Structure 1
């Protein structure tokens, strides 16, 4: 679900002091993007929205969430945006976020 090697690498790149700010910004930006997802009847931008979410997810090691965004992005590109179920994608994000925050609290970072 979470790519802790990616997260450790990111934290090493940006520094331990700045890492919490990056996490906070990520969570805020993803929440904003999710709240702006189009409703089921209007899906013109869903592929691009899922692409943006995927990029953010990959940057912070949310591997399963990024994978679901990629699947949805591909479906949208193939003309099936209306058939994309957002609930499993959003549920995966919440589960990933909880696992990530729990892992941070429980010393998953080396």
Structure 2
């Protein structure tokens, strides 16, 4: 679900304070897109899934990234939609719980 090696590398690369900022920006932006999904989508499914995939990979959210990649590919043919958004949302919530628990001292 979480690539902890990636998380550690990112934290080491940017430092603890910047890591907290990066994490907060990731959460805010992801929740913004997920809110759009819940409201019916932005009409740009492929771009939205691509953006989420990139951010998720950067933060080590492997499962979210994989689901976004699958949905992005389906979006190219017009086949992505609410079911994909629901899967990504559920995975993000579960991943965030694991992420926060894994970061706890």
- Asked if the contact 1:75–1:84 (Cα under 8 Å) also holds between the matched residues in 2, the reply is no
Structure number, greater radius of gyration: 1
Change (3 A) 1:62 1:79: same
Number of equivalenced pairs = 104
Q: Is the 8 A contact 1:68 1:89 kept in 2?
A: yes
Classify 1:93/1:82 alpha carbon distance in 2 versus 1 (closer, same or farther; 3 Å).
closer
CA contact (8 A) 1:51 1:69 kept: yes
TM-score between the two structures when normalised by the length of structure 1: 0.85
Report SS of the residue matched to 1:81. coil
Q: Which moved more, 1:80-89 or 1:90-99?
A: 80-89
Match of 1:25 in 2: 25
Equivalent pair of 1:72/1:84 in contact (CA under 8 Å): no
List 4+ stretches of structure 1 deviating above 3 A.
Answer: 82-85
Q: Distance in 2 between matches of 1:30 and 1:44?
A: 16
How much is the aligned-residue C-alpha RMSD, in angstroms?
A: 1.8
- As a proportion of its length, which structure holds more helix? 2
